[in-house]
Amino acid sequence: MKHRAQQRSTRLGRQALGLSVLAAGFATATTLPAQAATPASMFPHVAVANDSAHTLANRAHETRYQDSFTVHQFGNVTAASARNQAVALSVGCSANDPCRSTALSFQIVTMAGENIHLNAVNLSTARNEHCDGCQTLAGAYQFIVSTPHPFTLSAQEQGQLAAIHHKLDALGKSTLPAADLKQQADALAADVLAVLKSAAATAPTSHDSKASNSFHPTVTMKCHFDGWPVS
């Protein structure tokens, strides 16, 4: 059977490119997040999503925060690549005047089809370089929703995700210790997972009568967190 590839990515508050698999990644970073999506017209039935957040704190900029929260809605695909990364660095501060560097990245991807070849990568890196007493956190959260048939997030579900994004942005003003900040990020990731599971439950299921070939919507979350100090 032939499938016509569609691509529509939705960055909360904006429209971008995509196809219909739901993968969400959450990462931590302090510079502008890099996002990329490959149009289906260039590679039919293939979807590519690339999101990242990077932060660098030093004596000139002692506090840095960056978050990325991106939703990619892909249609029918035969193969997909989703990469999400958060990188946070603290360099050259002292214990008497420490730095704080936080990078968080959430990636959400929706994808439809059976026997899809998926390459999903979710990474985070936090480093202190000559920075005693500095707090450095990098968190990457990736959510992948796989469904037999394409579906789109409703206006209500997009509104719920936008509210979570707003709370994520608010963490940039937080002065909580690193471990507490991680707990708040984890809680927001749990909220995203709940929204996506509810959305996936409404997606059409496979009509194949053979139980061995039946395919029901699934939601997978990957989390990778690195930090100094994080308990």
List pLDDT tens digits, range 40-64: 445 558 999 999 999 999 999 999 9
Global pTM reads: 0.80
- Residue 12, pLDDT score: 41
Token look-up 């789109």 returns 152
- Contact indicator for 93, 99 with CB cutoff of 8 Å: yes
In angstroms, rounded to a whole number, what is the distance separating the alpha carbons of residues 140 and 70? 12
Domain segments of the chain as ranges: 7-228
For residue 38, count other CB atoms closer than 10 A to its CB: 17
CA-based R_g, the chain, Å: 18
- First-to-final CA distance of the chain: 51
Q: Which two tokens stand for residue 149?
A: 């048939």
Ranges under pLDDT 50 in the chain: 1-36, 38-41, 209-212
